Structure 1
Amino acid sequence: MNKHHGQLIEYRVRKNGYSISDLARNLNVNRRSIYNWFNQPYIKKDVILHIGIILRHDFSQEFPEMFTSEEFESVHKFKPTGFGTQRTVTTNQDDEIYKDKYVNLLEKYNMLLLKSL
């Protein structure tokens, strides 16, 4: 029996509760492309790999003929930022540092504006 790649991927996307819009944004494609992929009986290996990375799912279970679990080992170490790109996950502490810097800069700017009046 042939596996319908699109249906298997759609099942995993929906089971994980992942937003189609977010998936499309992370892959740098439009939502219509995602829905078209769901209808395709065969999807390219690199597309499945990128979807797996974004979903943080090891597709070697569904497609053992295409992937090994080693290809998905780094899935939990990286946060996807787009098709073919990855960056390390930032922590909330990093976000707070930049937020504090922004607030300080904004306060200084407001003080300068008040002095000039």
Structure 2
Amino acid sequence: MQHRGEIVERAIRKSGYPISQIARKLGKSRRWMYLMFDNSQVDLESIILIGRIIHHDFSEQIKELNAINPESFSEPESKYTKQNKDYWKNKYLKLLESYNTLLKKTNPE
């Protein structure tokens, strides 16, 4: 019987992608990744998503993947867009500037 976790671990280490980066893209923790490596029956959806991240086709090593349509699994989307991050960063900076101005008015030195 194939140990899916070991197969995935070998592919990840061979790819050179940092485990923490893959975990982040999956929305999981590094701890989850290491527990997955120890699991002989990793779910196929996770394997497909990891394969997309590291650009690796696991269907040659894990025969069960041939019976599944990989297009049915989508990559996890980032919760925040670049535009959204910039909006909140700018809002924070404006608030910080207002706070500093208020401090100067109340505490002149």
TM-score (norm 2): 0.61
Q: Indicate the structure with greater helix content.
A: 2
Gap change, CA 1:84 and 1:58, over 3 Å in 2: same
The CA RMSD over aligned residues, in Å, is 2.4
In structure 1, give the amino acid aligned to 2:36: W
Alignment of 1:4-19 (within 5 A): 4-19=3-18
Where in structure 2 are there 5+ consecutive unaligned residues?
Answer: 79-109
Alignment of 1:76-95 (within 5 A): 83-85=75-77
**Identity of counterpart residues, as a percentage?**
33
In structure 1, give the amino acid aligned to 2:21: D
Q: Indicate the structure with greater strand content.
A: 1
- 1:31 equivalent to 2:30? Answer yes
In structure 2, give the amino acid aligned to 1:34: M
Are the equivalent residues in 2 in contact too, given 1:60–1:68 (CA < 8 A)? Answer: no
Number of residue pairs aligned between Structure 1 and Structure 2:
76
Are the equivalent residues in 2 in contact too, given 1:49–1:59 (CA < 8 A)? Answer: yes
Match of 1:56 in 2: 55
Are the equivalent residues in 1 in contact too, given 2:27–2:76 (CA < 8 A)? Answer: no
Residue 63 of structure 1 and its aligned partner are, at CA, apart by: 1.0
- Per-residue CA deviation, residues 63-108 of structure 1 (Å, 9 max, x unaligned), is 1222369737xxxxxxxxx95338xxxxxxxxxxxxxxxxxxxxxx
